[in-house]
Amino acid sequence: MQLTSLVALALAAPANALIRFSCSQLVVDRIDPLVTPGMAPSPHLHQIIGGNSINATMDPAKDMPGESTCTTCQFTEDTSNYWTAVLFFRARNGTFKRVPIRPNAGFDGAVGGMTVYYMQNGLADYQQRSKVTAFKPGFRMLIGDALARTEEEASKYRQVTYTCLQDMSTRYPETKSLPNKPCPAGIMANIRFPTCWDGTNLDTVDHMSHMAYPATGTFDSKGPCPDTHPVPVPQLMYETIWDTRAFNDPNEWPEDGSQPFVWSMGDHTGFASHGDYLFGWKGDALQRTMDTPCYVTCPTLTTQSIANQNKCTAERTIQEDIDSWLPEIPGGPTISKKYLLEARGTRSKGGL
Ligand SMILES: *[C@@H]1O[C@H](CO)[C@@H](O)[C@H](O)[C@H]1NC(C)=O
Ligand SMILES: *[C@@H]1O[C@H](CO)[C@@H](O)[C@H](O)[C@H]1NC(C)=O
């Protein structure tokens, strides 16, 4: 190797960590311990990953993630819980089928689940020079609005998007609404959380106002945190790849040219995508890792095999059919008006 390239490599070495890892599905269940604690069933279905101590209540005083005996995440130090809504396909006959999830590149064999990132600078920034403070025990947050149905309502949440995968490496463009054409390799839902913390509150009533976006610019442009939320924390990002390949036949898509996918809260626009987070790293494992110069593969952590991740599961609290072609989405959320009108002609059930 030329000396100049060695020097270039040394200069480019990461200053801190960016970690990217796989977590398999823990459970798909109608619980939401953050937004509707204790309510079972909760209004809509979620896919949950992470530590197996999840339940409908998750009393913040109890450090519930810490009570887990296993985790579906690759790093055994991470017993956090992460969840999102669940995507359904709506057939022309008005029935719904839950869309499966496929693993991201490099994580073959993972059953369901997501890819999780913690970063101090943008993904493309190998050096990761910014310094972040890891989340604390008891920390919780939410991003996105399950009730949003317009671009305007969704615009508050800057980085909750979709990528229409032409193949597994497609990363651009991102859209705020669900893709309006078949995506040959699936639909990737991207959820990025805000990166500035108020430094005091582990949670707030809306699970959001203890967090803020940078005061100017963006996380990727290294914009500074506002005075009200001065503490930079890692950017947490989830990628979930909904495997729409079985549902890409245009003859099965709505005749009016709209797209057929609907979130478990009844949203077919895509604007209601949201993600929830309950911190649950053991001890100082997250801070220690973030302070280590490494990119994606971080030796500070204990890595379990994907086969072992898959073995960790949790009992469902709500026993209901989530796998068949279903006459309605579990919980019977109101589907957007257009679908209500369409469905009237084909279905006799009350309300539709
Ligand atoms: C949730 O788990 C905690 C701790 O294990 C337990 O005290 C609580 O009763 C459980 N709640 C539900 C609704 O199962
Ligand atoms: C509705 O359509 C789907 C997809 O074509 C099909 O698999 C299912 O059996 C149909 N259900 C009914 C009740 O016709």
| Ligand 1 binding pocket mutation candidate from 57, 67, 68, 318 (most atoms within 8 A of CB) | 57
Residue whose CB lies within 8 A of the most ligand 2 atoms, among 89, 93, 323, 348, for a mutation test? 93
Q: Is the pTM of this model over 0.85?
A: yes
- Rounded Cα distance between 28 and 251, Å, is 29
Reported as a single tens digit per residue, the pLDDT across 309-326 is 999 999 999 999 999 999
Residues above pLDDT 90, as percent of the chain: 82
Q: Are 232 and 287 in contact (CB under 8 A)?
A: no
- Residues lining ligand 1, judged by CB closer than 6 Å? 55-57, 62, 67
Query: Nearest residue CA, atom 1 of ligand 1?
Result: 55
**Nearest Cα to Cα of residue 317 among 27, 51, 58, 65:** 27
Probe target for ligand 1 pocket from 30, 59, 316, with the most ligand atoms within 8 Å of CB = 59
What's the pLDDT score for residue 336?
A: 67
Q: Select from 55, 63, 79 the residue to mutate for testing ligand 1; criterion: most ligand atoms less than 8 Å from CB.
A: 55
Closest ligand, as measured to the CA of 347: 2
Mean pLDDT computed over 119-126 = 91
Least confident of 2-6, 124-128, 196-200, 259-263: 2-6
- Whether the predicted pLDDT of 340 surpasses 60: no
Question: Is residue 1 predicted with pLDDT exceeding 80?
Answer: no
Q: CA-CA distance, 111 to 107, in Å (whole number)?
A: 10
Is the pLDDT reported for residue 21 higher than 70? yes
The torsion region of residue 158 among left (phi > 0), alpha (psi -120 to 50) and beta comes to: alpha
Closest listed ligand to the CA of 61: 1
pLDDT higher for 343 or 28?
A: 28
- Predicted pLDDT at 126: 87
Q: How high does pLDDT run on average in the chain?
A: 91
Q: Reply yes or no on whether the pLDDT at 348 is more than 60.
A: no
Say if residue 31's pLDDT is above 70. yes
> What residues flank ligand 2, with Cβ below 6 Å?
91, 93, 95, 252, 325
Is the pLDDT confidence value at 171 over 90?
yes
Q: How far is the CA of 59 from the centre of ligand 1 (A)?
A: 8
Counting residues of the chain whose pLDDT is more than 70, the rounded percentage is 92
Ligand that lies nearest to the alpha carbon of residue 96, given by its number in the listed order? 2
343, pLDDT greater than 50: no
Distance CA 128, CA 252 (A): 45
What is the DSSP track for 262-313?
EETTS-SSSTT--EEEE--B-TTHHHHHHTS-EEE--TTSPBPPHHHHHH--
Per-residue pLDDT, 60:
82
Residue whose CA lies nearest to ligand 2 atom number 8: 325
Per-residue confidence (pLDDT) for residue 337, from 0 to 100: 52
Identify which of 116, 251, 248 has the alpha carbon closest to the alpha carbon of residue 182.
Answer: 248
C-alpha 133 to ligand 2 mean position (Å): 50
pLDDT at 10: 53
pLDDT over 50 (residue 344):
no
Quickly state the pLDDT bin for 62 (edges 50, 70, 90): confident
